[in-house]
Amino acid sequence: MWYLFEQPERVLELTMEHIRLVGVSVLAATLIGVPLGILCTRIRWLESPILNMSGVLYTVPSLAFFAILIPYTGLGATTATLALALYSLLAIIRNTVAGIDDVPRATLDAARGMGMSGRQRLFLVELPLAIPVIFAGIRVATVSAIGIAVIAAVIGAGGLGRLVFDGLQRLDPDQVLAGAIMATLLALVSDWGLKRLGEALRRDAAPAAERG
């Protein structure tokens, strides 16, 4: 643990690398996963194959996934980002479907009665009310990606995993512990921050849905 105080600049640099790697991955997964989740609620026969495919991708061991991608995307952050994004899809798609499905039928009937089109119901009623559930999926995906990204250091992706693997190579448990502690703190802070953001968006979106 003393490594955190002895090498604060390196720890900060690797922490920022970790944040960028996870942030880009989860953002990409969100931009893909939320539309796929919406598509599943509109075309029901697609729900099973999409969720099954994302579930299969999630079960592939991370090192095996990296090995599969390396011949096509090479070593480094690109391969790690792609793998982390694919790992993140399951939670985001599943929670998007669950969030939209949980919108009360009476609310949708009222929106139809007001003459709203399908697109208006989606953006003014369903998505605002589904935000807490969708953000719960993003939180799960983010925390999971932070842990998996530690392993991505094996393929030269950088991040806090470098502390862990460098410490293992040098038989330096203090360095390993520093990487583990920072990854854990990053996961806890991310979970807390996304939870608060989801709650804030829910407070803002719910009145808008009621007005719509």
Q: What is the pLDDT of residue 206?
A: 54
> Which residues does 21 contact at the CB level (< 8 Å), separation at least 6?
77, 80, 81, 84, 149, 152, 157, 158, 159
Binned at pLDDT 50, 70 and 90, residue 1 comes out as low
**pLDDT 10s digits, 2-54:** 777 788 888 999 999 999 999 999 999 999 999 999 999 999 999 999 999 99
- CATH (one of 1.10.3720.10, 1.10.600.10, 3.30.1540.10, 3.20.20.100) for 7-211: 1.10.3720.10
- Give the Cα separation of 113 and 61 in Å (integer): 49
Residue whose token pair is 């640099």 = 13
Would you tell me how many other CB atoms lie within 10 Å of the CB of residue 91?
A: 25
- % of the chain at pLDDT higher than 90: 62
Q: What is the pLDDT of residue 116?
A: 86
Binned at pLDDT 50, 70 and 90, residue 203 comes out as low
Write down the pTM of the prediction: 0.90
- Give the Cα separation of 105 and 8 in Å (integer): 54
Which has the minimum average pLDDT: 22-31, 36-45, 77-86, 172-181? 172-181
Q: CA torsion, points 72, 78, 82, 83, in degrees to nearest 10? A: 90
